Amino acid sequence: MNPLRPEMPLLFAELPDVFASRFDPEAPWTLLGDALDEVLAGLPSSDIQTGLSPDVHLAGDRIVIGRGTRIHPSVVIEGPVFIGQDVEIRPGAFIRGGCWIGDRCIVGANTELKRALLLPHAKAPHLNYVGDSILGADVNLGAGTILSNFRHDGGRIHIPADDSRLDTGRRKLGAILGDGVLTGCNCVLHPGTVVGQGTQIYPGVHLRPGIYPAKSIVKLRQELEIVERE
């Protein structure tokens, strides 16, 4: 362990073979860099093993879609992209900028994915934005959850950890969510958020950049004032 790097929580029990040898547990976001580019560059120009509605729009090169995957009308998919088997992509979804979507994932209606890695069974099912992010196996994003990936000042993403700030070297980085992480409705995870596996995040939480432990509950406390109407 590099003493200058904070310890990362447990994130993934297993990674697909194409990513396993490229994974740095001290800097998990590196999978979104050269590793993802190399995997996508190795895809065939077109390998579509499921029927598509004429209302599904495909653009670009290197598009792979596995058997049993259901893609609803009005979906837009830009290559390069890998979509595994038995995936469901619901109406109005927009997949762009280089994505890898594992088997049995769900991409919901009007959800946008941009340079994202979804491990098997991950779900972004309802009005989500997933930018420059990794969703571990069995992650479920509540409706309206946003994984923000860009600072307003355009600066590089740093992750606070104890008394240090870890420079990721990236100008765009959303969230790294370990296996089984659950978010409630309308959560916003700010750029540079790492959450250990099995953690639950309450609805409406704005999670600041940082490293959050595995198997925890992140609660939102708010005070309501109810007054009599005149």
The catalytic residue positions are: 126
What is d(CA 65, CA 175) in angstroms, rounded to the nearest whole number?
25
How many C-beta neighbours within 10 Å does residue 41 have?
Answer: 11
Picking from 167, 142, 112, 152, the residue whose alpha carbon sits closest to that of residue 218 is: 142
How many C-beta neighbours within 10 Å does residue 192 have?
Answer: 26
Picking from 84, 47, 54, 53, the residue whose alpha carbon sits closest to that of residue 69 is: 84
Picking from 56, 50, 129, 124, the residue whose alpha carbon sits closest to that of residue 91 is: 56
What is d(CA 11, CA 8) in angstroms, rounded to the nearest whole number?
8
DSSP state of 31: G
